[in-house]
Structure 1
Amino acid sequence: MSTAQSTTLAEQLGAFAAQLRPDDIPAQVRERACHLMLDATGIACASTGYEFAQRTLNAARELGEGDSDVIAMGAKLSLRDAILLNGVLVHGLDYDDTHGRGVIHATASCYPTALGVAAKLSVSGADLLCAYVVGMELATRIASVAKGGFHQVGFHPTGLVGAFACAVIAGKLQGQSAAQLAHAQGIALSTASGSLEFLEDGAWTKRLHPGWAGVAGLTAATLARHGFIGPKATYEGRFGLFNSHLGERAAECDYSLATADLGEVWEVTQVAVKPLPACHFTHACADAAMQLRQQGVRSEDVHSIVALVPKETVGIVCEPVASKRRPKNSYEAQFSIPYAVASGLLRGRYGLVEQEAQALTDPQVLALADKVEYAIDPASGFPRHYSGEVVVTLNDGRVLRHREAINRGSSDRPLSNAEIVDKFRENAATTQSPQRVDALLDAVLHLEDRPARACSQALAARA
């Protein structure tokens, strides 16, 4: 899969995507990819029980129905709207996977796009899986170039970078040449988006980002297939992705990360599956708090708490302090270190139940959240690891601490495939019958053995 004759990054990535075949992907990589899609499927099922899912479906239906499937909702929409809604379902609970170095939820855009386009074109499940892996490699690598910079200037790489990966997924499934795939990426430069403003008030827009990346990518790819011309220097140009979106931080980019060992080292294996339904930046401190509770710390004995966090995450999960201590909805709770730590110490858990309205107004957890301060972690492993530590000072003067140097679920401390199956079953069972849970499991884990359309139809049926 040589890309030696290529010049721009878009051309190199397009050549890689055009040449990759299912058998080029090692068996263990394909197996892990299926489990990442299984994890996403379970989360999508759970999301169907929430208000945001039904409201998004209502809006999509108003725009027109079609013949493309929506996971676990029994609905038929146009291809682009089905991709949009499936992205909302996968990402809606902030429980989906994360690539650490890229700080991107790549499956949430790549899976709905690959599933929808593959089913529409009636290709094989093996081709669907191959396209998904291609998208994951591109999304994680392109995001990694920025070294976490997109978040620092207010862009969400899940939506922003996801559009380029989805353009290549759609184009590959359409049988496009390397040159067409390069143009598709260039066109996506004008359709990609994703603002972090939702952090200010818990708005629902973050849920929209991965599905919209799929919509943008499919649109760009289809235009390229019909000969529409995109700019060449998509990523490294004067107004390319990094220079236009990062400003002065563009100087910190490492463009070699986009293609280093491409086709030899598989970033799919570096994707972290979330053990907790919240922003990955809160996980280490939440787990540390739960460990301290297991060691006997009780809320009534706590005088003060300090959470040590990577400096790059402060503006996302620690500030503004007042609102982080008083999350008004589940989304704000998912991005709150004070709430995550308080919940972990008080309840010994931090799951979907802890983000419901009654839990958010619990006076005990709010009183404990008031005691949580943050400090920059001097030993942070960010972005490879989303490290965290909780230091508790008790009323009697004793100081207890627990550190999670490597966050649970990360590539260096991964959930096993068996643990992913358990997580899938737990999530899917919130809305699906036991028989449906088994059928969904079979459809995804045996994806390569059936047509893509059959898999899509199996996922779409109601409970």
Structure 2
Amino acid sequence: MTQTTDPPSSHPDAVAATLATYTHRLQLGDVPAETSLRARHLMLDAIGCALAARREDFALRFESAVHALPGVNVPAACTAGAIGFSRRLPLRDATLLNGVLTHGLDYDDTHMAGVIHLSVSVLPALFSLAAAREQSGADMLTAYIAGLETGARIASVVKSGFHGQGFHPTGVVGAFASALAVGRMIGLDQAGLVAAQGIALSLASGSLQFIEDGSWTKRIHPGWAAQAGITAATFAQQNIPAPDAPYTGRYGLFRSYLDSARQAQIDLALGTAGIDAEGRASHWELNNVAVKPFPMCHFVHASADAAIALRRQGIDTAAIRSVEVAVPAGVVQAVCEPQDAKRRPTSDYEAKFSLPYAVASGLLRGRLGLKELEPAAFSDEGVRDLMARVNYVEDPASTFPRHYTGEVRVTFEDGSTRVHREPVNRGHAERPLTNDEVREKFMDNATLWFPRAHAEAVCAQVLGLDKLASVRTLESLLAADPQL
């Protein structure tokens, strides 16, 4: 059904109640083996992104900034570890930093229909808390799956509407997903899980203003959402009264974060899709989470692959007159405009959200990895010259947000053209990176600053998480400085 601007629903919120029932009753034995294994690979991917970020300027500066927060000097027994750092922090501060580290390279996974990065809020919310409580890997894995399943459904309701309104769903919906995940891990009942969602409503945030200038605030969003989830679930555990209609109430999520036109487009049925009245799931949204092949905004991936495909076909880049890229209308605001700024990125973060750069790098180099996000790469005069000739058009045939499509048309000086279209972005559930490819990506990322033996030990513990007696073992392994 499609939710319009009808009067607010009666209490309690059916979406919140259903997700609470689902989260409460979920058991790891309910999860298909292949879905459980994929969940562990998604965790591995997020941790690898954090390890790869360890010596990036943003990682060092955020780590220093978090240590400057008031109250950071607490007894060692009350501290938690950050991935790749030996200096310990208060638990919620470590959670914030782990969100920054896992998301900071923009190399982490994305749920396609929800247009949301969930692992980087849900995993940090659970990781330090599970270690502090010495909970088992199976406990954390179950709660992680619950967080991804519920968060994906909440985000899918709005059909990418949050982005159009200027909100980042990773920060906004991540708070609800993290609250449910933490609530599951600390044993909240259904009423407590509804309350946790109600409290999360007052904590959810995440502005897209960073797109205008390439600033670093997006990196904060998942860690802040993770902190919010811990706070919301803990307050619910302490019986703090909370709204019971966080999604469909008069001032609930969908009415407060969307204008009337976007409210008319939402589909509330997606919020509980595949979950029956007893809280049993008939399908797993986790299987629709895409692992990124490029450390760039997911919106540019198909276009980058199209450009790389043309490069591999042997085109003469010196003879290019112009490049036209057909993109989904829903991504223009993030990666195409303002056009002049997108054609001349001045930082790695601006480059990550630049369609002209993704396409130019693909055409000229046939690749788009971490090295292509160094200043020398995006400031190269040859690349800048080609970026100036890259234009975009909105693609009426795009199936966005189901797929993040991309088509590159190159026109040469003699008037001839070459076209390549990617109708389904690589990494999508319909074209997934295999578990073997995810492990290869992890090893590449984890061995940038750490020995291979360390990376292999981390890989073994994460993939064997369902049998790990205490998450503290994994935390102790990860809370270490680089050794290379």
TM-score w.r.t. structure 1 length?
0.97
For the residue of structure 2 that corresponds to 1:418, the secondary structure is: helix
Contact 1:283 1:408 in 2 (8 A): yes
- Unaligned runs of at least 5 residues, structure 1: none
**SS in structure 1 of the partner of residue 258 of structure 2:** helix
Aligned counterpart for 2:341 among listed residues 320, 323, 334: 323
1:289 equivalent in alignment to 2:295: no
Say yes or no: does 1:250 pair with 2:263: yes
Structure 1 residue 456 corresponds to structure 2 residue 462: no
2:249 to 225, 230, 237: 237
Amino acid at match of 1:56: F
CA distance in 1, matches of 2:258, 2:441: 36
Q: Structure 1: how far apart are the matches of 2:200 and 2:206?
A: 13
Given candidates 129, 147, 160, the residue that maps to 1:148 is: 160
2:46 is the alignment partner of 1:40:
yes
* Bigger mean CA offset, 337-346 vs 65-74: 65-74
The alpha carbon displacement at 1:6 in A equals 7.5
Q: Is the 8 A contact 2:16 2:194 kept in 1?
A: yes
User: Any conservation in 2 of the 1:443–1:459 contact (CA below 8 Å)?
Assistant: no
Question: What does residue 352 of structure 1 align with?
Answer: 370
Q: By how many angstroms is 1:462 displaced?
A: 2.8
Preserved CA contact (<8 Å) 1:123 1:452: yes
- Is residue 325 of structure 2 the alignment partner of residue 307 of structure 1? yes
Query: What amino acid does structure 1 have at the position aligned with 2:31?
Result: I
Question: 1:12 — aligned with what?
Answer: 18
Alignment equivalent of 2:88, drawn from 76, 80, 83: 76
C-alpha distance in 2 between matches for 1:118 and 1:418: 27
Q: Give the conservation status (yes or no) of the 8 Å contact 1:243–1:250.
A: yes
Q: CA RMSD in A?
A: 1.2
Counterpart mapping for 1:272-287 below 5 A: 272-287=290-305
Gapped regions of structure 2 (runs ≥ 5): 1-10, 276-280
One-letter amino acid of the counterpart of residue 379, structure 2? T
Q: Secondary structure at the match of 1:161?
A: helix
Q: Per-residue displacement from partner, 1:324-355 (whole Å, max 9, x unpaired)?
A: 00011011111111111111111111111111
| Cα offset, 1:286, TM superposition | 0.6
**Cα distance in 2, alignment partners of residues 109 and 161 from structure 1:** 10
Q: What is the CA-CA distance between 1:7 and the residue it aligns to?
A: 5.3
Q: Equivalent residue of 2:326, what SS?
A: strand
Shifted more, 373-382 versus 114-123: the winner is 114-123
Q: Please give the secondary structure, in 1, of the residue aligned with 2:149.
A: helix
Shift of 1:272: 0.2
Instruction: Tell me which residue corresponds to 1:412.
Output: 430
Q: Where does residue 424 of structure 1 map in the other structure?
A: 442
- Alpha-carbon contact 1:443-1:458 (below 8 Å) kept: no
The secondary structure found in structure 1 opposite 2:391 is strand
How far did 1:52 drift? Answer: 1.1
8 A Cα contact 2:12 2:245, kept in partner: no
Name the residue aligned to 1:260.
Answer: 273
Alpha-carbon distance, 1:396 to partner: 1.3
Deviation per CA, 1:217-276: give whole Å up to 9, x if none. Answer: 111111111010110110011110011000211121111111111322111111000000
- Residue from 153, 160, 163 that aligns with 2:172: 160
SS at the partner of 2:68? helix
Q: Which amino acid aligns with 1:458?
A: L
Q: Is the 8 A contact 2:357 2:387 kept in 1?
A: yes
Q: What's the secondary structure of 1:252's corresponding residue?
A: coil
Question: What is residue 8 of structure 2 aligned with on the other side?
Answer: none
Q: Which amino acid aligns with 1:272?
A: A
Partner Cα distance (1:184, 1:115) in 2:
19
1:162-177 matched pairs, under 5 angstroms: 162-177=174-189
Distance 1:75 1:258 in 2: 40
* 1:142-184 per-position Cα deviation (integer Å, ceiling 9, x unaligned): 0000000000010000000000011111111111111011001
Residue by residue over 1:251-307, the C-alpha shift from the partner in whole angstroms, topping out at 9 and shown as x without a partner, is: 211111111113221111110000000000000111111111111113211011000
User: Does the Cα contact within 8 Å between 1:125 and 1:455 map onto a contact in 2?
Assistant: no
- Larger CA deviation: 218-227 vs 8-17: 8-17
Provide the rounded CA distance (Å) in 1 between the counterparts of 2:222 and 2:271: 20
Letter in 2 for 1:253: I
For 1:219, the equivalent position in structure 2 comes to: 231
Q: Match of 1:445?
A: 463
Could you say what secondary structure the match of 1:74 adopts? strand
Indicate if the aligned counterparts of 2:287 and 2:429 stay in contact, CA closer than 8 A: yes
| 3-state SS of 2:408 partner | strand
Name the TM-score, length of structure 2 as normaliser: 0.93
Give 2:59's aligned residue.
53
| Partner SS for 1:246 | coil
